[in-house]
Amino acid sequence: MPYNHNQYIVACQRRVQYCGSLLLRCFPWRFAFLLAVLTAAGSSADAQKNGRKKQKEVVAPVLPENGFHPKEEALVVDGMKYMIRGEADRALPVFEELAKIAPQSAAAHYLLATAQVKLNKPEGLESAQKAYELDDKNVYFGKFLAENLAYQKKYREAAEVYENILRIEPANLQSSIELAAVYVFSDQLDKALETYDRLEKNIGVTEEVTKQKQQLYLRQNNLDKALEEAQKLIDSEPTEAYYHVRLAELYMANEMLDKAIPALEEALRINSEEAQAHILLADIYRRKGETEKCNRELRMVFGNPNFDVTPKIRVMSGYLEMLKANEGRAGTMKSEDRSEAMKLVKLLIDTHPAESKPYVLYANMLVHANEKAKARDSYTKAARIDGSVYEIWEAILQLDGELNQFDSLLTHSEMALEVFPNQGMLWYSNGSANLVKKNYAEAVSALEESRRLITGNPVLSRYIHAQLGDAYNGIGEYRKSDEAYEYVLKEDPENDHVLNNYSYFLSLRNEKLDKAREMSLQLVKRHPENATYLDTHAWVLYMMKDYKGAKEYLEKALENPGNASATILEHYGDVLSRLGEKDRALEQWKKAKSMGDHSTDIDRKIASGTVHD
pLDDT per position as a tens digit, 13-62:
344 444 445 544 554 434 433 443 343 333 334 434 444 433 333 333 33
d(CA 49, CA 64) in angstroms, rounded, equals 34
Distance CA 343, CA 299 (A): 9
* Residue 406 pLDDT exceeds 90: yes
Residues 6+ away with beta carbon under 8 Å from 502: 469, 482, 485, 489, 516, 519
Q: What angle do CA 124, 129, 132 make, to 5 degrees?
A: 125
The predicted-structure confidence for 423-450, as pLDDT tens digits, reads as follows 999 999 999 999 999 999 999 999 999 9
Cα 177 to Cα 156: distance, rounded to the nearest angstrom? 16
Answer yes or no: is pLDDT of 11 > 80.
Answer: no
State the sign of the Cα–Cα–Cα–Cα dihedral 98, 104, 106, 107: negative
Residue 179 near residue 159, CB atoms below 8 Å: yes
What whole-number distance in Å separates Cα of residue 193 and Cα of residue 188?
Answer: 9
Nearest Cα residue to 84 out of 59, 111, 110, 54: 111
Quickly state the pLDDT bin for 67 (edges 50, 70, 90). low
Q: Who wins on pLDDT, 377 or 63?
A: 377
> Which of 485, 488, 491, 490 is CA-nearest to residue 471?
485
**Residues 548, 552, 555, 557, CA torsion sign:** negative
pTM for the structure as a whole:
0.62
* Structure confidence at residue 477 (pLDDT): 97
With bands split at pLDDT 50, 70 and 90, how would you rate the model's confidence at 329? low
- Which residues contact residue 384 at a Cβ distance below 8 angstroms, ignoring those fewer than 6 apart? none
Distance CA 79, CA 69 (A): 15
Q: How many Cβ atoms are within 10 Å of 530's Cβ, its own excluded?
A: 16
Alpha-carbon distance 413 to 399, whole Å? 12
* Cα–Cα separations (whole angstroms), residue 296 to 283, 292, 339, 612: 12, 6, 15, 76
Q: What is each CA distance from 424 to 57, 404, 406, 420, 454, in whole angstroms?
A: 66, 21, 18, 9, 5
Give the per-residue pLDDT at 289. 81
Mean pLDDT across 403-413: 97
Measure the CA–CA gap between 486 and 387, rounded to whole angstroms: 38
Stretch 409-433: mean pLDDT? 97
Count of other CB atoms within 10 angstroms of residue 73: 19
